[in-house]
Amino acid sequence: MKTTGALLWEPGTNSGWSVEEIEIDPPERREVMVKLAASGICHSDQHLDDGVIPLPWAPVLGGHEGAGVVTEVGPEVHDLEVGDHVVLSFLPSCGKCRMCVSGRSNMCELGAGVLAGVAPDGTHRVHARDKGVGCMSFLGTFAPYVCAPVDAVVKIDKDIPLDKAALIGCGVPTGWGSSVYGADMQLGDTVVVVGIGGVGINAVQGARHKGAKNIIAIDPVPFKQEKAQEFGATHSVSNYEQAAELVQQMTNGQGADRVILTVGVMHGNLLEPAQAMTRRGGVIVMTSAAPVLQRDVEIDLFTFAMSGKRLQGTLYGSTNSRNDIPLLCELYRSGRLELDELITRTYRLEDINQAFADMQKGLNLRGVIMYD
C-alpha cells in the first residue's frame, strides 16, 4: 500500500519531519492493518528529533499514539476482525513473559524492543526511497495506515470517538497511571504535579479520581495553569518556590504526600526541589523522560534516606493496557475522564512541524493529527 508518512531522516539533529510517500506491506503473522482516525503529538517523538532519545538508525516513521479501524488481518489473528475499533498501545504486551504474567505488562520484554528500528520479527513493514523504515513503537502513527502487531492493539467499543480514543494509547494512561498506580495515592493526599502537558494534565485527572484533597499544578505557562484548574487542580503556580510555600501552609510544614514529575525533559537539578517538598515517608514519582546519557543528579541523600521517602520511576504510568485502556474508555463514557477538552488544536499531517512547534511553545495540552 502506498500512502504518506512523516519521517525523520536525521534523528537527533532537530531537522524536522519530512512528509512524503511511503509504502506499507500487508500484515504478516499476528499483525493487523489499521486505518487511523487520528494520532497524538507527543514529546517522545520530539525527543527522537532533538536527540534526548538517541537512535543509531534511520529513517524513522514517527507517531505512537493513535486509534482507528481494522481493515485487514494477518495469519494467526484470532481476537480481532475487520471493522473492529482499536486503540494502539505504544508499549505492546505479549501476555506470556515474566513481567506480563506478574502483572507488570508495561514492562513486557517485547515492549523493551520498541526502539529497535524493525518489526518484532526483525524485518521492516514500511519502506521509503528504497530503504527500510523503522517505526516508532512498532507503530508509526504519523501515517493514515499502520501495520501493527496484535500485542499492541486493544479493541474498544464502537461508541467511543476514535479521535479522542487516540489519546488513550500513551499520554492519558501515562499521566493518569502516574497518580493512580505509580504514586499509590491515598484519599485526602496533598499532591504536586510538576509540568502540565499532555501527561501532567492527566496526572491531575488521576489525582482527582483518587480523592486527593489538594492538587497543586506547577507550570510556567499561564494557559496551562488555567487548564490545570479546569481539570481538577485546586491550585496552580509557575514554579517550585510558590508550590513549596503553598505546601507548607496546607500541611502545617509536613510536606506533600506525593510529588509527580511530568516535565517535558527531566534534568537532574529538578529532583532536589521535589524531594525537599515531600513529607517523610512520601513518594516522588518520576515519569518524565531524561536525556539518555545524563548521570548527574542533585539530591540531598542524607535527608532522603533518613526520612524514608521513595523515588518511584514509572513507565506508561504503570498501567496494564489490556485492562486500563477499556477502563479509561468507560470513565470517559460516564463523564469521569475528560478527553474532548485535552485536544487543544488539530492539524493535517502536512502541518506536523507546526504541531511540534506549538507543543514546544506550550500552546497545546494535546495537538492531534486528523486523518480523513
Question: Which amino acid belongs to residue 201?
Answer: I
Question: In whole numbers, what is the pLDDT of the chain averaged over residues?
Answer: 97
Does residue 22 lie in a domain region?
yes
Domain that holds residue 285: 175-314
What CATH number corresponds to the domain at position 140? Answer: 3.90.180.10
Residues 158, 43 share a domain: yes
Residues 152, 16 share a domain: yes
pLDDT on residue 293: 86
Does residue 14 lie in a domain region?
yes
Q: Which long-range contacts (CB under 8 A, 24 or more apart) does 230-239 make?
A: 230/341, 231/201, 231/204, 231/205, 231/338, 231/341, 232/204, 232/205, 232/207, 232/208, 233/193, 233/204, 236/196
pLDDT on residue 114: 95
Q: What are phi and psi of 156, to 5 degrees?
A: -130, 165
Does residue 245 lie in a domain region?
yes
What CATH number corresponds to the domain at position 259? Answer: 3.40.50.720
Does residue 94 lie in a domain region?
yes
Question: Which amino acid belongs to residue 216?
Answer: I
State how far Cα 175 lies from the chain centre: 7
Q: pLDDT of 288-328, one tens digit each?
A: 999 988 889 989 999 999 999 999 999 999 999 999 999 99
Residues 157, 68 share a domain: yes
Q: pLDDT of 166-219, one tens digit each?
A: 999 999 999 999 999 999 999 999 999 999 999 999 999 999 999 999 999 999
Residues 111, 190 share a domain: no
Does residue 321 lie in a domain region?
no
Does residue 213 lie in a domain region?
yes
Residues 192, 60 share a domain: no
Q: State how many domains the chain has.
A: 2
For the chain (372 residues), the mean pLDDT of every run of 10, in chain order, is 98 97 98 98 95 94 98 97 98 94 94 94 97 98 98 98 97 98 96 97 98 98 97 98 98 98 95 97 96 90 95 96 97 97 97 97 96 89
Residues 149, 222 share a domain: no
